[in-house]
């Protein structure tokens, strides 16, 4: 994608605070972020720096105290609650450290689930879900439930589920945090390849230097502010 393409994500002046035991905690303090089509941007920083809070705001899972978030030119604050739910379902993809798969559903049913919620016809659902499982190398595990899969396989199912509806923006919060280094490398390589194929963008929170290095660009948070934003060293 060209650098002149319009940003997929524009976040401006994001601020968010919480009350903990009567004490105000400023989780974010005026964060600005732009993400272009095809970019994978890592968000790094120590625990408590605001990484998860930022992803929650970008994913419309929480509202900022100040600032605004635009995805594909849509100011999400202007959407109704139902409109926001539909927006998340159709334009955003989520990958979590804990996988968040439905335990009683097979891998195929988990991947198919977002399309079911969106009333996609059954034949189309199955075709797209099977294609995504094949893309993450799990076509032979389609009928297995999450408890029958390894951690790396579960995260690959979660990636397939996050991408099956072809989102514009994928938000990944510590997606390799529960994986060993080999499984983590596979997951990051898959995510990198698949979002490139789809033309999607990714904002990925991580502590893992190898994961951050694959992102090519890293935004460092410290005490709720952007401390640095720039290119990372290319990984071999």
List the domain boundaries for the chain.
38-64+78-215
Sheet with 23-35, edge to edge strand ranges: 23-35, 9-20, 66-71, 74-75
Please name which of 231, 224, 179, 229 lies closest in space to residue 51, comparing C-alpha atoms: 224
Q: What is the mean pLDDT of residues 188-192?
A: 86
- Rounded Cα gap, residues 151 and 96, in angstroms: 12
How much is the pLDDT for 233?
65
Angle between helices 107-117 and 151-163 (to 10 degrees): 20
Q: List CB contacts of 21: < 8 A, sequence separation 6 or more.
A: none
How much is the pLDDT for 4?
67
Six-digit token pair at 196?
């490139």
Angle between helices 151-163 and 122-135 (to 10 degrees): 130
Residue with tokens 């559903």: 105
Percent of the chain surpassing pLDDT 70: 97
Whole-model pTM: value is 0.91
Question: Topology of domain 38-64+78-215, per CATH?
Answer: Rossmann fold (3.40.50)
Is it the case that residue 2 has pLDDT exceeding 50? Answer: no
pLDDT in tens, 121-173: 999 999 999 999 999 999 999 999 999 999 999 999 999 999 999 999 999 99
How much is the pLDDT for 140?
95
pLDDT in tens, 52-71: 999 999 999 999 999 999 99
- pLDDT-based confidence at residue 177 (cuts at 50, 70, 90): confident
Please name which of 177, 232, 207 lies closest in space to residue 48, comparing C-alpha atoms: 207
Is it the case that residue 185 has pLDDT exceeding 90? Answer: no
Q: What is the CA radius of gyration of the chain?
A: 17
In 21-65, DSSP assigns E strands to 23-35, 40-44
Average pLDDT of the chain to the nearest whole number: 91
- pLDDT-based confidence at residue 207 (cuts at 50, 70, 90): confident
Q: What is the mean pLDDT of residues 174-199?
A: 86
Higher pLDDT, 218 or 187: 218
Q: List CB contacts of 228: < 8 A, sequence separation 6 or more.
A: 218, 219, 220
Least confident of 24-28, 57-61, 188-192, 203-207: 188-192
How much is the pLDDT for 144?
98
User: Are 102 and 109 contacting, i.e. CB atoms less than 8 angstroms apart?
Assistant: yes
- Rounded Cα gap, residues 91 and 158, in angstroms: 16
């Amino acid at each position: 994608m060209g650098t002149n393409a319009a940003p997929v994500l524009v976040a401006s002046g994001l601020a968010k605070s919480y009350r903990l035991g009567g004490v105000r905690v400023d989780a974010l303090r005026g964060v600005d972020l732009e993400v272009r089509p095809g970019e994978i941007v890592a968000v790094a920083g120590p625990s408590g720096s605001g990484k998860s809070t930022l992803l929650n705001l970008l994913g419309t899972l929480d509202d900022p105290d100040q600032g605004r978030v635009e995805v594909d030119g849509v100011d999400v604050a202007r959407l109704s609650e139902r409109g926001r739910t539909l927006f998340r379902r159709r334009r955003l993809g989520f990958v979590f450290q804990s996988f968040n798969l439905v335990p009683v559903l097979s891998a195929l049913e988990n991947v198919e689930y977002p399309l079911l919620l969106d009333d996609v016809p059954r034949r189309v659902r199955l075709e797209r879900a099977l294609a995504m499982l094949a893309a993450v190398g799990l076509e032979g595990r389609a009928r297995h439930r999450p408890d029958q899969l390894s951690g790396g396989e579960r995260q690959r199912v979660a990636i397939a589920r996050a991408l099956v509806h072809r989102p514009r923006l994928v938000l990944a919060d510590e997606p390799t945090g529960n994986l060993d280094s080999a499984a983590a490398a596979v997951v990051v390589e898959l995510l990198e390849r698949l979002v490139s194929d789809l033309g999607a963008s990714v904002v990925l929170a991580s502590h893992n230097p190898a994961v951050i290095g694959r992102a090519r660009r890293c935004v460092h948070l410290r005490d709720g502010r952007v401390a640095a934003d720039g290119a990372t060293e290319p990984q071999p």
